[in-house]
């Protein structure tokens, strides 16, 4: 509800919106044709003057019909994907290129190097984490919730800040479950655009009825400011990627609830976005095609980081946030694979 209110406030203040009569008529037309409340007319920026093809975008009803379809999404696979630990362990066992996990905690029980350590007080937690830093010869640990979404709850722990971290985060760690991972050193070219966050590709795969895996859509997400995550829910933005060339296309767009800003350059580094070629793009797509065969939900959104030596899987999303793909593609209803999906679902 709060997010909807924020979107409304941005819409009211947006000087680039169409005139009120046109917006009302388009909303009515959208609702009649789509047989759905035109909520995503606003979320997808279709109220702006440049958006003439508003019927080419998915309605919220169409979006949910895809991600909740038993023909596309299988509960037993989704349960694995939703739990970052179960996904991580299975993906590693299958030999997929992943970020390195040092260990995890199930509330007060820490599993590090296949040993279980019970944490009773702050000193115990300090000693476990200090030992983790020392044995792995690292200075940073990326910590993320086992069941979190949208980058919420992720933390970056620097070795020099360990004592403060333990004092301020002790009860939070004891009351939740986290993965403790190696901090990724992303490709220098991507660092040139934004070095504060790990900026990831979101690649969505689709498996047709003949079990052929397709890349449905690709986009890139970038963090903004001091945020350590690139999620749009944390103020980051997304931009389309040409699936053939691996180049960024068009402008970056921030979520409407976060201000709806449009970027031609990164707002912090002023690095030009359009035309930037993503390193190891083909390898990233190949990695997704391989992973899709192991986690065979017919539609999954993959978050891929690009390091200096190639792509790594960060995580997989059983709910691939197709509205981001919708915006990046300029209306997914034009996509032949989306037409195929909706036809199958509605048959």
pLDDT for 286 equals 98
Sorted by sequence, the CB contacts under 8 Å of residue 285 that are 6+ apart come out as 203, 215, 218, 243
Q: Tell if the pTM clears 0.75, that is, is over it.
A: yes
| Span 142-193, pLDDT tens digits | 999 998 777 889 999 999 999 999 999 999 999 999 999 999 999 999 999 9
pLDDT tens-place string over residues 68-115: 999 999 999 999 999 999 999 999 999 999 999 999 999 999 999 889
The whole-chain average pLDDT of the chain stands at: 95
CB 171 within 8 A of CB 216: no
pLDDT of residue 5: 77
pLDDT at 287: 98
pLDDT at 233: 81
- The whole-number average pLDDT for the span 210-239 is 94
- Residues 6+ away with beta carbon under 8 Å from 264: 251, 252, 272, 273, 274
User: Could you read off the pLDDT of 242-251 as tens digits, one per residue?
Assistant: 999 999 999 9
Widest CA span in the chain? 65
User: What are the strands of the beta sheet with 248-254, ordered from one edge?
Assistant: 262-263, 248-254, 237-241, 213-222, 201-207, 299-307, 310-317
Q: What is the pLDDT of residues 22-68, one digit of tens each?
A: 999 999 999 999 999 998 899 999 999 999 999 999 999 999 999 99
What pLDDT, on a 0 to 100 scale, did the predictor assign at position 1?
57
CA dihedral 41, 252, 317, 62 (to 10 degrees): 20
Bridge partners, 247 (sequence order): 277
C-alpha dihedral (266, 272, 275, 278), degrees to nearest 10: -50
Q: What is the pLDDT of residue 2?
A: 64
Count of CB atoms situated within 10 Å of the CB of 52 = 10
């Amino acid at each position: 509800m709060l997010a909807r209110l924020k979107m409304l406030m941005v819409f009211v203040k947006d000087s680039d919106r169409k005139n009120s009569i046109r917006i009302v008529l388009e909303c009515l037309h959208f609702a009649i044709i789509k047989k759905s409340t035109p909520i995503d007319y606003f979320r997808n920026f279709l109220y702006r003057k440049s958006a003439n093809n508003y019927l080419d975008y998915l309605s919220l009803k169409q979006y949910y019909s895809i991600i909740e379809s038993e023909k596309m999404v299988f509960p037993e696979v989704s349960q694995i994907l939703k739990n970052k630990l179960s996904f991580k362990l299975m993906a590693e066992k299958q030999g997929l290129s992943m970020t390195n996990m040092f260990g995890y905690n199930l509330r007060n029980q820490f599993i590090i190097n296949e040993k279980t350590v019970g944490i009773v007080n702050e000193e115990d937690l300090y000693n476990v984490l200090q030992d983790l830093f020392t044995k792995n010869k690292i200075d940073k640990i990326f910590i993320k919730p086992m069941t979190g979404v949208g980058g919420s709850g992720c933390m970056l722990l620097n070795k020099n800040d360990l004592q403060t971290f333990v004092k301020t985060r002790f009860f939070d760690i004891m009351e939740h479950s986290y993965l403790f991972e190696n901090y990724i050193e992303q490709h220098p070219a991507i660092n040139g655009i934004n070095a504060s966050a790990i900026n990831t590709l979101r690649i969505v795969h689709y498996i047709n009825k003949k079990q052929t895996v397709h890349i449905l859509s690709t986009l890139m997400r970038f963090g903004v400011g001091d945020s350590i995550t690139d999620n749009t829910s944390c103020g980051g933005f997304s931009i389309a990627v040409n699936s053939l060339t691996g180049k960024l296309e068009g402008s970056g767009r921030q979520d409407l609830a976060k201000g709806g800003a449009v970027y031609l350059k990164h707002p912090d580094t002023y690095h030009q976005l359009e035309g930037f070629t993503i390193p190891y793009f083909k390898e990233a797509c190949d990695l997704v095609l391989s992973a899709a065969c192991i986690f065979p939900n017919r539609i999954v959104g993959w978050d891929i980081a690009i390091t200096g030596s190639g792509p790594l899987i960060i995580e997989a999303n059983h709910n691939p946030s197709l509205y981001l793909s919708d915006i990046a593609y300029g209306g997914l209803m034009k996509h032949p694979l989306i037409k195929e999906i909706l036809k199958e679902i509605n048959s």
